[in-house]
Structure 1
Amino acid sequence: MAIVAVGTEIVQCARIAQMIQQHGEQFLERVFTAAEIDHCAQRPDATGHFSRRWAAKQAVFKALRCHRRGVSWTDIEIATHPSEGPTIELHGIAADLAEEAEIDAIHLSLGGCRTQAIAYVVLCD
């Protein structure tokens, strides 16, 4: 297994909070899947959870180099599995691009504090 690409992103949590305040459900539904919205909304630090997922999606966009290739935000889903922690599930065009690039594994690391969220993604073949 070799590393094919990496992507990283850091975001100010206040920026995501502002987007949620200004655009509400429209922003949430454009960027996050229903499962992601449900997961984050149930957390005491919902903004932090949304921010980390936003950062993870941005990191995937960078690693796949797919910003202008028709990939929607919801084609990249940050799923949470109790025994594994957060994982990346690709759908639609994002999944097609990963398959074309022969990506067999995607590794994700999330972190943050009250003010910032960070994500690091490693794509492997």
Structure 2
Amino acid sequence: MAIVAVGTEIVQCARISQMIQQHGEQFLERVFTPAEIDHCAQLPDATSHFSRRWAAKQAVYKALHCHRKGVRWTEIEILTRPQSGPFVSLTGSAQERAIDAGVDTIHLSLGGCRTQAIAYVILWQDDNFDTSVGDDD
């Protein structure tokens, strides 16, 4: 396995809270998928969960060098498996960027406290490269 890229982001939870308060559903639907919105909205302290997902999306965005590449926020989806925790699922232009970069696997770590959220991603290329980034058997 070889590391293709690394991305990290720290977010002030108050900033995301302010965006949600000011722009409501318009902000949420522009940035998060319906599955992400449903997941975060049902949890206590939804703002911290939205903040962690925002940080994760930013970290992936940076690692894939997506700036001005036409990648929508909803093409980078942060989902959760009960048995193994959060993971990244890519679609559309984001998935194309990952494939072009030779990314086979994305490892994600989320953390934070009451005031901040942090995400760290490592993009990997396996020795036997395959293009199944984002596929969830």
Please give the secondary structure, in 2, of the residue aligned with 1:103: coil
1:75-94 matches, within 5 Å, as 75-94=75-94
Q: CA deviation at 1:73?
A: 0.2
Corresponding residue for residue 51 of structure 1? 51
Structure 1 counterpart of 2:28, which letter? L
Task: Kindly state the Cα deviation for residue 67 of structure 1 after the two structures are TM-superposed.
Answer: 1.7
Deviation at 1:100, TM superposition (A): 1.0
Question: What's the offset of the Cα at 1:97?
Answer: 0.8
Q: How does 1:15-54 map to 2 (within 5 A)?
A: 15-54=15-54
SS in 2 for 1:10: strand
Q: 1: distance between equivalents of 2:52 and 2:67?
A: 19
User: Which ranges in structure 2 are unaligned for 5 or more consecutive residues?
Assistant: 126-137
Separation (CA, whole Å) in 1 of partners of 2:73 and 2:67: 10
What is the distance in 2 between the residues matched to 1:57 and 1:109?
A: 12
RMSD of the alignment, in Å? 0.4
Bigger RCO (CA 8 Å, 6+ sep): 1
The higher radius of gyration belongs to 2
Q: Which amino acid counterpart does residue 16 of structure 1 have in structure 2?
A: I
CA contact 2:110–2:118 (8 Å) conserved in 1: yes
Deviations 1:16-61 (A, max 9, x none): 0000000000000000000000000000110000000000000000
Q: Which runs of 4+ in 1 moved over 3 A?
A: none
SS in 2 for 1:99: helix
Question: Normalising by the residue count of structure 1, what TM-score does the alignment of the two structures yield?
Answer: 0.99
Report how many aligned residue pairs link the two structures: 125
In terms of fraction of residues, the more helix-rich structure is 1
| Cα deviation, residue 102, structure 1 | 1.3
Identity fraction in percent: 77
Q: 2:101 & 2:113 partners in 1: Cα distance?
A: 34
The one-letter amino acid of 2:73's match is: W
